[in-house]
Each structure stands twice: as structure tokens, then as C-alpha cells.
Structure 1
Amino acid sequence: DWMPSLDMFYSGMMDIERQFSFRFILDAVAKHRMVYNNEFFYGTASVSKFETDYVEKVLSVRKNII
């Protein structure tokens, strides 16, 4: 809902707040897909998986409550 349509994409990316939103969305998608296909979203991470000071770079596996 926050992302511009294709015809408005370029002007939307000129706004730094929208650009950050877009990058964090791609980061979330990439982290979701990282387990299944490492190359599909290569280079989209806001925080590299090799960053040592950021402990939340990889989400832990969900616990099955039931």
C-alpha cells in the first residue's frame, strides 16, 4: 500500500522516506526467502548477514506452540 505504482516509481524513489520503506520491505522479503533460495533477492539486505554488531540480522526459526 505504501509503494508507488510502476509509472510513479521513479518519482517515489526520489523521496528518501519511501526509499527506506522500500529497502526495509525488500530486506524482510529477502530474509524470508534466504532459507529457500539465497540468490533470488541477492543484494537487497539493509543489514548484511556478515555484520557482526547487529544481532537481529537473521530471524530465528518460529517455535511451534501447538
Structure 2
Amino acid sequence: MQAVFISDIHGNLEALEAVEATLPDAPIYCLGDIVGYGANPNEVVEWVKERVEVCILGNHDLAV
């Protein structure tokens, strides 16, 4: 069984979509920091809500 782990997206939707194109069909787990510096935090949050099995809050997420 495969699993995908992502972290430190920091609101960078363009990079997230580029990575998504290479992912296998496997559960996705997020290790935090989905918001922070990038220009698209709302879109990244929606992407995570739609696709990620479990998401742990990072320090940037807790600060929001």
C-alpha cells in the first residue's frame, strides 16, 4: 500500500498543483503548514479539504 505525505505548502497553490500531477492514487496525509506565505491560502485549504485524509496543524496554521 502506498501513502503520500505532504507538508509546508504555505499557500502555494501553483506548486501544490504541480506536485499533484505526479502523485500516485494513494491516500494523502498532510503534516501541516498549509497556509503562510503564498498567495492562495483559501484555495489551498479547499484543496486539502477535498483530497487529504488527515491533516495535522502546523505552527503557521495555528497562528491563523
Q: TM-score range by the shorter chain?
A: under 0.3
Q: TM-score, normalised by structure 1?
A: 0.24
Q: TM-score, normalised by structure 2?
A: 0.24
Q: Which has the larger radius of gyration?
A: 1
Structure with bigger strand share is: 2
Structure with bigger helix share is: 1
